[in-house]
């Protein structure tokens, strides 16, 4: 009968009772026995009537039925149920997240695959369940040398030992950092490169204590300019100051040379004009003659003379020393033969004051009384009376005081 306690499986002689009403009979020795008779569940492959979270037919493992017994190793993945190495990735190659290395426990999720057409030089491909010692998700055996032990790197395109994640240019082995790039590319005017190429900014960066804010190059440059303008508006750049000094020195040297050159030319022209006009005698040189005569060194300043007839434009008449004087000493004995002979015997070096004054040689018969005044070493107290015509031509008062009596004795009429 099909009453309250009737046969639930009237067509299956080995089963009649189904307590949890899941379609699987409670008789463990019957057809498709319910392994979980008190739980309404529908697993149907490894056992019947037990929980199956992903509904793939394989029951969830529990304390009485483990993965080893055949329970679903991946109860939440309907495409996977077996995981031979226990790394969490199913062994079914056509299932979700298949284990690329089912023979070894691994935690990788991706692998590096070289690709020359790629910008980075490689592409990433899924690869689950392989060895990944540094835990970066990349299959160790596909990473570049030394990158398998660095969790931050996995590929080194230029082989310089610096991974692509930190290498500024992974296509050039000599450029590893931003500094390398900026120092090798002077055409890069970015803020970063401007900073690297400015020694003053680098000195500032090195002085900033750890933990303090480091200004970018542009901000630092602006603050520096404000500090300079605030401290002294008249502050001049050192290079500019040096250039001004150099230009000033050059200008001074040039002007000095020009002045000296002009002075030299003017002096040469003045000397040439003086030679032509005075025959080489310096104008004004005779101003010292009177002073030299009084000091007993007469003639020291004398120079020049007629050095060339070319300096003169006019012909000069020959001097006639035999011309007779019309007045003066016409009746003096100096014109006598004896006086002439005596005068001829004198030289310029032996001329006395008497010869300069025009007085002839003293006659041999001069009385002794008349010669006494000439031999006197003292100046006469009184000068002889002047002749009616006044002081003879060429005489001075001093000469007349000393020698006037002789002139009167010879030529006087009073």
Q: What is the pLDDT of residue 5?
A: 61
Question: Is 389 within 8 Å of 312 (Cβ atoms)?
Answer: no
List of residues 6+ apart from 300 with CB closer than 8 A? 288, 292
Tell me which H or E stretch contains 128: none
The 10 Å Cβ neighbour count of residue 400 is 20
Q: What is the pLDDT of residue 280?
A: 54
d(CA 334, CA 341): 10
- pLDDT more than 90, % of the chain: 47
Q: What is the pLDDT of residue 17?
A: 94
Segment 325-380, tens digit of pLDDT? 445 445 544 444 444 444 444 444 444 555 545 555 454 444 444 444 444 457 77
The confidence band for 412, taking pLDDT boundaries of 50, 70 and 90, is confident
Q: What is the pLDDT of residue 268?
A: 86
Segment 278-302, tens digit of pLDDT? 555 555 555 555 555 555 555 555 5
Question: Is 107 within 8 Å of 120 (Cβ atoms)?
Answer: no
Q: What is the pLDDT of residue 29?
A: 95
Q: What is the pLDDT of residue 350?
A: 47
Residue 125 token pair:
């491909």
Q: What is the pTM of this model?
A: 0.46
Q: What is the pLDDT of residue 68?
A: 92
Q: Which residue has the higher pLDDT, 91 or 397?
A: 91
Q: Which residue has the higher pLDDT, 381 or 264?
A: 264
Q: What is the pLDDT of residue 269?
A: 85
Question: Is 170 within 8 Å of 158 (Cβ atoms)?
Answer: yes
d(CA 57, CA 38): 18
Burial class for 55, CB neighbours closer than 10 Å (0-12, 13-18, 19+): exposed
Residue ranges of domains in the chain = 1-81, 355-414
Segment 70-82, tens digit of pLDDT? 999 999 999 999 9
d(CA 102, CA 87): 9
Segment 180-225, tens digit of pLDDT? 899 999 899 999 999 999 999 999 999 999 888 999 999 999 988 8
d(CA 202, CA 219): 14
The confidence band for 253, taking pLDDT boundaries of 50, 70 and 90, is very high
Q: What is the pLDDT of residue 340?
A: 47
Q: What is the pLDDT of residue 366?
A: 46
């Amino acid at each position: 009968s099909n009453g309250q306690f009737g046969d639930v499986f009237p067509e299956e002689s080995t089963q009649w009772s189904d307590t949890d009403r899941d379609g699987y009979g409670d008789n463990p020795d019957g057809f498709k026995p319910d392994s979980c008779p008190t739980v309404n569940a529908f697993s149907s492959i490894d056992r019947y009537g037990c929980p199956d979270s992903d509904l793939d037919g394989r029951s969830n493992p529990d304390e009485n039925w483990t993965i080893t017994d055949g329970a679903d190793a991946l109860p939440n993945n309907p495409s996977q149920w077996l995981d031979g190495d226990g790394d969490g990735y199913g062994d079914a190659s056509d299932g979700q997240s298949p284990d690329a290395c089912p023979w070894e426990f691994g935690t990788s999720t991706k692998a590096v695959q070289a690709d020359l057409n790629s910008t980075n030089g490689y592409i990433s491909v899924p690869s689950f369940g392989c060895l990944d010692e540094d835990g970066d998700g990349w299959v160790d055996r596909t990473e570049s040398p030394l990158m398998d032990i660095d969790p931050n790197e996995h590929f080194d395109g230029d082989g310089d030992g610096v991974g692509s994640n930190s290498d500024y240019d992974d296509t050039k082995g000599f450029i590893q950092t931003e500094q390398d790039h900026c120092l090798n590319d002077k055409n890069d005017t970015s803020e970063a490169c401007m900073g690297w190429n400015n020694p003053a900014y680098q000195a500032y960066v090195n002085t900033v204590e750890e933990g303090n804010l480091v200004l970018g190059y542009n901000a630092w440059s602006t603050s520096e300019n404000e500090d300079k303008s605030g401290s002294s508006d008249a502050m001049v750049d050192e290079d500019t100051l040096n250039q001004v000094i150099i230009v000033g020195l050059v200008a001074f040297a040039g002007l000095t040379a020009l002045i000296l050159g002009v002075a030299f030319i003017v002096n040469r022209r003045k000397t040439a004009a003086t030679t032509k006009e005075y025959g080489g005698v310096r104008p004004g040189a005779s101003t010292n003659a009177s002073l030299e005569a009084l000091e007993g060194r007469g003639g020291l300043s004398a120079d020049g003379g007629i050095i060339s007839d070319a300096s003169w434009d006019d012909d000069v008449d020959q001097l006639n020393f035999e011309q007779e004087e019309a007045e003066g000493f016409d009746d003096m004995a100096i014109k006598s033969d004896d006086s002439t002979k005596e005068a001829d015997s004198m030289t310029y070096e032996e001329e006395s004051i008497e010869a300069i004054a025009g007085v002839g040689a003293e006659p041999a018969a001069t009385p002794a009384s008349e010669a006494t005044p000439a031999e006197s070493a003292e100046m006469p107290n009184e000068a002889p009376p002047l002749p009616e015509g006044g002081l003879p031509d060429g005489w001075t008062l001093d000469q007349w005081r000393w020698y006037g009596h002789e002139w009167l004795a010879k030529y006087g009429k009073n």
